[in-house]
Structure 1
Amino acid sequence: MKIGITGATGQLGSLVVEQLKTRTEAANLVALVRSPEKVEGIEARAFDYDQPETLAGALEGVDRLLLISGNEIGQRARQHENIINAAKEAGVKSIVYTSILRADSSTISLAGEHLITENLLKDSGIPFTLLRNGWYTENYTASVAGVVEAGALVGSSGEGKISSAARVDFAEAAAVVLTSDGQEGKVYELAGDEAYTKVELAAEISKQSGKDIPYQELAEADYASALAEMGLPEPIAAAIASWDVSASKGDLYDDSKTLSQLIGRPTTPLADTVKAALS
């Protein structure tokens, strides 16, 4: 059985490939990427979401497809439609899609394109599985060094609890689903075992860095301005600030422990991911 992985050289995709190698032969894997020359150890095929006429050929012989959502916000619904249409043409037997936690009710702006994609999958007639991934802890810890340097963690999440998990946890979940039968039609709401507020995140950073890092709550507009001053493009800064407001409403909280049940182990503790970021 051939398993195709889109975005296989990306932050999540590369981890999925490593997890899959522990569960199936490398010969069963196909990396579907913009730059095949960057792939080592498995077959790689050129795969550009914006060149729909080439996609069906690249999917020839693929039985199960992991569709990792694209990273171009605003373009993803169109790009995903290109891939789903190509999968249908190529005879792909099932698709596993990385969506977002509670895509059908979340106020997070990212949810819209995910929900469109979920509906495209439903309309395609191809059997599919939804991995509704919660927040990656690395979304926060990637900027830990800057937070320590600045002396404060800022945001607009209030007392909202965040049930994040490390990328590797979500990657392992994808590998489990891709290598097991009977997954078609399932919708997994995936999140970390432990939930924390940004106040608690700041406390963990303080503990591990040895510096007092308080959490500073800002109005959404002020947080967006602060992010823009740090060099982020204004639309991205505004989006990140809005996601924090969604976190304050509980959109990143989930206590079902579905993720740890699926991978058969506890999700990676926040402390471990903070430690890795600081090192």
Structure 2
Amino acid sequence: MIAITGASGQLGRLVIQELLKTVPTSQIVAAVRTPSKLQDLAALGVVVREADYEKPATLAAAFAGVDKLLLISSNELGRRATQHRAAIDAARQAGVGLIAYTSVLHADPSPLALAGEHRETEAMLQASGVPYVLLRNGWYTENYAASIPSALQHGALLGSAGEGRIASAARADYAAAAAVVLQAEGQAGKVYELAGDASYTLAEFVAELSKQTGKTIAYNNMPEADFKAVLLQVGLPEGLAGLLSDSDAAAAKGALFDDGRALSRLIGRPTTPLAVTIAAALKA
């Protein structure tokens, strides 16, 4: 059996959709904090189990009989390491044979503030004794596509990434990679640095957006502190504003770039081009 944590999230659902193409529904476990959110998957025959990082007993039950576990990193910044430890401990107790963990691109040297909890989790996995594989995911193109409505409204995209090149890929590309790894043999000990085939600067991002919309969109680069201040002014919480501004500043240092093309090799096709993701966002 293959279990996926965070199964009701955007990445989790996409991974399950990929697995459903080749894996019997009865062998897929959707582990989720609120099972009622996955009634559609349960109706298909997917095994839906409660798995709350804050309730270790639910994790032990959720992972019972599971051979391979995709541990999708928690979205609760500051709580991630603690929550991941609970999941890893439960997986070990349940006798899970392999944990695939969604880490971050080049976690070891990464200047990203959010990389710290990923490094902690990788260390926990190494110490756990459970075989594991690291899926070090780069940026999702959707992370920047989410800013398109604001950019169109104001005629500008703000950021602090400078000339840093971003080798992002669509979320579905990373989901496809996870599904491949979960079904393959001999994955224990592997580390995949996953990123898009092509890279772009945020100036190039808005150039593509301008091309598709026929509107002139500018990229306004700002110091990290100023960018964070703007994000706070528009109502973003302190933690999220800090995360976004830090991520942009780290991108300027190359944190979101990789040209190894491990992702496209793993999924057997090119990663989704930036233009395609922008077009999809404009139609949404």
TM-score w.r.t. length of structure 1: 0.98
Aligned twin of 1:114 = 118
Amino acid at match of 2:138: G
Aligned twin of 2:68 = 64
Amino acid at match of 1:243: S
Moved more, 188-197 or 31-40: 31-40
Q: Distance in 1 between matches of 2:124 and 2:218?
A: 44
Moved more, 160-169 or 18-27: 18-27
RMSD of equivalent CA atoms: 0.8
Aligned twin of 1:276 = 280
The alignment covers a number of residue pairs equal to 278
Shift of 1:159: 0.4
Aligned twin of 1:11 = 10
The DSSP-based 3-state class of the residue aligned with 2:74 is coil
Structure 2, unaligned runs of 5 or more: none
Q: Distance in 2 between matches of 1:25 and 1:55?
A: 22
Q: Distance in 1 between matches of 2:49 and 2:241?
A: 34
> Does 2:29 match 1:34?
no
Aligned twin of 1:182 = 186
Aligned twin of 2:156 = 152
Shift of 1:54: 2.5
Matches for 1:184-223 after TM superposition, within 5 Å: 184-223=188-227
Structure 1, unaligned runs of 5 or more: none
Q: Distance in 1 between matches of 2:167 and 2:152?
A: 23
Amino acid at match of 1:6: T
Shift of 1:150: 1.2
> Does 2:171 match 1:172?
no
Q: Which whole-Å deviations, capped at 9, do the CAs of 1:12-45 have from their partners, x for residues lacking one? A: 0000000011121111100000111222221100
Quick one: which of 206, 231, 234 aligns to 1:227? 231
Amino acid at match of 2:71: L
Quick one: which of 77, 82, 95 aligns to 1:91? 95
Contact 2:147 2:157 in 1 (8 A): no
Shift of 1:242: 1.0
Shift of 1:235: 2.5
* Structure 1 runs of 4+ with >2 Å offset: none
The DSSP-based 3-state class of the residue aligned with 2:64 is coil
Moved more, 219-228 or 69-78: 219-228
Q: Distance in 2 between matches of 1:239 and 1:217?
A: 17
TM-score w.r.t. length of structure 2: 0.97
Q: Which whole-Å deviations, capped at 9, do the CAs of 1:56-99 have from their partners, x for residues lacking one? A: 12211111000000000000000000000001111111100000
Q: Distance in 1 between matches of 2:136 and 2:117?
A: 13
Amino acid at match of 2:37: K
Provide the identity percentage: 56
